[in-house]
Structure 1
Amino acid sequence: MTATIDIAALANLLQEAAVEEILPRFRNLGDGDVRMKSEAIDLVTEADEAAERFIRKGIEALMPDALFVGEESVAADPALLDRLEGAELAVVVDPIDGTFNFASGLTLFGMILAVVSKGETIGGVIYDPIGNDWALVEKGSGAWIYRPDGSQEQMQVRPSGPLEQMIGIANTGFFDIETRRKILSNLAEVRLFTSYRCAAHEYRLLGQGHMDFAMYNKLMPWDHLAGALMMQEAGAHVARFDGSPYLPHHTSGGLLVASDVDAWQELRERIFTVD
C-alpha cells in the first residue's frame, strides 16, 4: 500500500522554516556564516543548517517513521544516502537550493522536499520564500502552484516546437572538459540556454510553460526528486540519458526533461550526445 502524505502540512513546514531560519539571514550573513564545501561555488551557510534542523524536527512530529535525508545531514554522514533505496518511507530535503545565490544576496533560491515510499517518489514541495508560494505534487494528482491568497494553477509544460526555437536549462558544470565542449557547441542549435544555479526555480519555470527542456548531469536526490515528479505530472517526458527512469537512489546517469518523448529524443541525439 502506498503511503499517504499530508502535503499541506509539509508545505507549511517549509514556510515556517523559511520565516524562522532563512529569511532573517538573507542578505544578513556574517563573515563566519558561509563556508566552502567541495569547491568555491559549493557553499553551506548557517541558514542551510538551521533550516534543516527546523525541518527535521517538524518531520519527526509529522512523519515519525520516515527516514530523514537532508543535504547537510548527508554532508556530515555520507552513508545516510545509501539508506534511501531500501527505506519504507523517507523525506528528502534541500533546506536551501541555490545556496550560492542565497549567499550572494540573489533571490533565486528555494526549498525542496520530496517524499519517497519503497523506492518511488510519491510527493514533493518546492517553496519560494521570496514569492511565498509553493509548487506541490502528489503522484497521480497533478502538479500545482499554490499562492498565498489561496488561488491555484495546474502546472502544464508547453508543447514542443522546433529545436532552433527551444529555450531551456543546461547545467554542464559536472561533465569532463571534452564532453562539456561538445555539448556547449551543440547548444548553438537551440534558441537560448541558461542555468540559474537553482533547480527549484528551474523546475517551476518548466512546469509553468516558460521553457522547453532541462538537462542535469549530477543527480543528488534533494535537488531533483520533487522536480522530476512535478514535470511528469505536468506532462513532460523525464528520463536519464540512457532512456531509463530516474529513481530516488540514482546519483549518476544524467537527467533530461522535455515537453514530450519526441522532443526528448531530438535533444538527446542532437544536443546532449554524452556517450
Structure 2
Amino acid sequence: MPTEIFSDAENQLIDECFAFAKALVKDAGELVKEGYSKSNDDMGIVEKEAKWDMVTDYDKKTEAFLIGAISARYPDHKFIAEESEATNSALTDNPTWIIDPIDGTNNFIRHIPFVAISVAFVWKREICLGIVYNPILNDFYSARLGTGAYLNGKQIHCNKLEKLEDATLGHEVSFLRVQKHRERNAKQVLAFASAAQGFRSFGSCCISLTFVARGTLDGYQISELYAWDIAAAVLLIREAGGYCCKPDGSPIDLMDPKIICGATKELCDALVKLNKEALGL
C-alpha cells in the first residue's frame, strides 16, 4: 500500500473514492450502451475540428453525468475532462478527476465495439485510481495505486516479454489522416510495424493501453493526446507490471501526454530507441 505518499485519512478517502467511482462508471456505461444502440441520426453527431474529430450527444451526456455526480459528493474536487472546457485547468496538487466520457468516438459512431469510459483520480500529482470501462464488451478495468490491476475483478499482468522482434505493438494509424502529424506518424508506423512480430490499431488509446495491461499487446506508442486519454490506463499498466514513459524516455507528464509503454522495462527501452532512430533524434 502506498502509505508514504498519503496519510491514513487520505488513504481512506482514496478508498472511498474508488468504491464510489467504480459504481458510478458502471452506471455511466448504461448511457454509453444506450447511445451505441442508436442509429447515427439519433446520436447527435457533431464535427469538432475536422472530419476525423467527432463528438456525439452521448459524449456530452456521459461526461455531464460523471462530473455532476462527483461534484455533488466531492464539491472541492477539480476536473480535467474532454468535453467540458470550463473544467479544464493545469494539474495541481489538489484532488482532481480526469475524465474521457467516450474514448474511441469514431468507433462508437461506426458501432465498432472498441470504446471506453476512462476515469482517473489524481492527488498530489500522483495517479491514485484508474478505471477504464468498455460497456459494449463488458470489460471493466480498475486499479488502485499499490494494489494491482484488475479486469472484471481478476488480477491482470503485462507479458514478461523483452525482445522487440517477439512483440505485438499498437499505434493509431488514423493520425496519418492529419497532415501536420502525417510525416512523423508514417515514420513511426513503418519502424514499429517492421520491427515487431505483429502490429495493430484499434482506434482507441484507452483500449490499446488496457490491452498492454492485460497482455494482449506488448507495447504501444502515441503522441497526439490529452491527459484524459492516458491517465487511468497508465496506472493500469504500472499496476500490471509494465512501464510507461515519454518517447524520449523521460517520465510521463499528464499535461504533455506523449507516451511509449512496454510490458517490461527492457521492451520499453527498446521502443524508445526505435522511436528515436525512426525520427532521426
TM-score, length-scaled by structure 2: 0.86
Residue 68 of structure 1 aligns with an amino acid whose one-letter code is F
Higher mean alpha-carbon deviation, 109-118 vs 64-73, is at 64-73
Q: Which residues of structure 2 form unaligned runs of 5+?
A: none
Q: Is residue 50 of structure 2 the alignment partner of residue 39 of structure 1?
A: yes
The runs of 5 or more residues in structure 1 that have no matched partner are 147-151
**TM-score of the superposition, structure 1-length normalised?**
0.88
**Aligned partners of 1:8 and 1:134: how far apart in 2?**
14
Q: Is 1:197 aligned with 2:197?
A: no
How far apart are residue 122 of structure 1 and its match?
1.1
1:141 aligns with 2:163: no
Contact residue 215 and residue 257 of structure 1 kept, 8 A:
yes
Q: Secondary structure at the match of 1:144?
A: strand
2:238 alignment partner AA: Q
Residues 181 and 247 (structure 1), Cα distance of their counterparts in 2 relative to 1, 3 Å cut:
closer
Of 265, 268, 271, the match for 1:264? 268
Q: Deviations over 1:138-165 (max 9, x none)?
A: 111111112xxxxx21121001143222
- Over 3 Å counting, the alpha-carbon distance change for 1:132 and 1:270 in structure 2 is closer
Q: How many residues align?
A: 262
Tell me the SS of whatever aligns to 2:49: coil
- 8 Å contact kept, 1:237–1:264: yes
Over the matched positions of the two proteins, sequence identity in percent amounts to 24
Tell me, in whole angstroms, the C-alpha distance in 2 between the residues paired with 1:132 and 1:181.
33
Q: Contact 1:120–1:248 at 8 Å: present in 2 too?
A: no
Supply the AA of the counterpart residue of 1:127: Y
Q: Is the 8 A contact 2:46 2:55 kept in 1?
A: yes
- Distance in 2 (CA, whole Å) between partners of 1:111 and 1:45 is 14
Give distance in 1, aligned partners of 2:50 and 2:123.
33
Which 4+ runs in 1 deviate beyond 6 A? none
SS in 2 for 1:168: strand
Instruction: Report the residue type matching 2:270 in the other structure.
Output: E
Q: For residues 1-275 of structure 1, what are the structure 2 equivalents within 5 Å?
A: 2=6, 3=10, 4-5=13-14, 6-19=17-30, 21-31=31-41, 33-74=44-85, 77=86, 80-81=87-88, 83-146=89-152, 152-171=153-172, 173=175, 176-187=181-192, 188-251=194-257, 254-271=258-275, 273=277, 274=279, 275=281
Task: Give, in whole Å, the separation in 2 of the partners of 1:244 and 1:143.
Answer: 23
Deviation of 1:87 after TM superposition, in Å, equals 4.6
Give the superposed CA RMSD.
1.9
**Paired residue secondary structure (1:31):** helix
